[in-house]
Amino acid sequence: MRFPAPGVRRSERLICRDVTENTDANLAASALRGDAESFSRLCEQHYPVLVAVAYSRLADRNLAEDAAQEALLVAYRDVARLKQPQQFAGWLTAICRNIATDMARTRAREKHLGAEDCSPVANPSRNENDTVSLVREVIAQLEPGLREVIYLKYYNRLGYAQIAQVLGVSEEAVNGRLRRARDKVRRALQRRVSTETKP
């Protein structure tokens, strides 16, 4: 099943393919020794993934970019706290996830929005057909952890090993989350179709 992209640019998805554990560990180790260039390369590699993770909680491209940038700043400030360079991706993703979650809570609280207005439904373009719009809506209703793996797998086109590294979980856990997400999307779409076709 192919899903419509939530605003993650194609060039960013391609960069994500280059994220490898070996490269991350080497660059993170250099960054821990104070090498700013290594940290800059890590930022370039992980930025698209961070935007996708933040988007899964905020459903707003600009806010997701803000959260990703803030996560990189926090990581730069706190990189000395990273004990195991090979866990850089999971550590950075957790920072971004926490920032995006806090931003979503703050936004909802400040605007005193109702539950319907807080739902992370993306604004489909006018040219989008009904099916794509429906799939977007269904994905937006998934819990954040399931939206996260959908975005990383289908929008950023990361493999299971890369997603596992980014989220700090096993490949089996990634597989399980993707399976649950696809099942929920399929059931929701089937319910919508059967409801709409009833006389």
140-167 per-position pLDDT tens digit: 889 988 999 999 998 888 999 999 988 9
pLDDT tier, 107 (very low <50, low <70, confident <90, very high otherwise): confident
pLDDT tier, 122 (very low <50, low <70, confident <90, very high otherwise): very low
User: Is residue 116 predicted with pLDDT exceeding 50?
Assistant: no
pLDDT of residue 120: 47
- Report yes or no: 58 and 6 within 8 Å, Cβ to Cβ: no
- Report yes or no: 145 and 177 within 8 Å, Cβ to Cβ: yes
In angstroms, rounded to a whole number, what is the distance separating the alpha carbons of residues 143 and 160?
20
User: Is residue 49 predicted with pLDDT exceeding 50?
Assistant: yes
What is the amino acid identity at position 140? A
Structure-block tokens of residue 173: 């856990």
Q: Which range, of 41-50, 89-98, 115-124, 166-175, averages the lowest pLDDT? A: 115-124
In angstroms, rounded to a whole number, what is the distance separating the alpha carbons of residues 137 and 145?
16
pLDDT of residue 199: 56
Token match 């080497």: residue?
26
pLDDT of residue 131: 75
In angstroms, rounded to a whole number, what is the distance separating the alpha carbons of residues 5 and 197?
27
The percent of residues in the chain predicted with pLDDT above 70, rounded, is 77
In angstroms, rounded to a whole number, what is the distance separating the alpha carbons of residues 106 and 45?
28
Q: Which residue has the higher pLDDT, 199 or 72?
A: 72
pLDDT of residue 171: 94
pLDDT of residue 194: 76
Sheet strands (E) in 71-171: none
Model pTM greater than 0.85?
A: no
pLDDT of residue 161: 92
In the chain, where the domains are located? 10-197
